[in-house]
Structure 1
Amino acid sequence: MDFLGFFNITTISIALMLIGSIGLILVKKPLDKVILFDIADAGFVLAVVAFKYLDVAFAIAILGPISTIVFLMSILKINEIRTKNSEGGPNV
């Protein structure tokens, strides 16, 4: 039986997107969410390349790290707000 015929680039990209998306929903730790976000992003780029939209893949490759940095900054801000509220600060 030929298992390599099943594992083409489209199947791998869909699997990466599903694993990353489901993991983002289920995982509670913020840094683990960043890792799973990058796994889903890698699957998305791979799917775009598989359908031969190379100009879009180039734009995604340029903007991908920027979105990861924004995601990390939002996690830090949320943690800062949570610690401020847990210390008994004013609820705004």
Structure 2
Amino acid sequence: MRARIYQPAKTAMQSGTAKTKGWVLEFAQDSARDVDPLMGWTSSTDTQTQVKLSFDSKEAALTYAGDKGIEAVVTEPHTRKPNIRKGGYSENFVPNRRAVWTH
């Protein structure tokens, strides 16, 4: 069995960093998907692709994969510098602004 270990990125609808601290072990697809000729649904005999295991750390996920004999590939996350302004969002509405309002 093959699997991928990664740290999930935040969604486009998310401004915070909730649910992005943990690590996920996701199994790779072993067999091809088939199209049902009657209904047109996509199906597969491989049920492991539906499994996603969550871990608190990368080491815990690697330990689990090693104990179960799973060949795992680790994908490191791309980190970015946080965009934190000195005054924050409320700085836009301060009555004694020194800069010109841009809207």
Taking structure 1 as the reference length, the TM-score comes to: 0.30
Rg: which structure is higher? Answer: 2
Of structures 1 and 2, the one with the larger relative CO (CA 8 A, separation 6+) is 2
More strand by share: 2
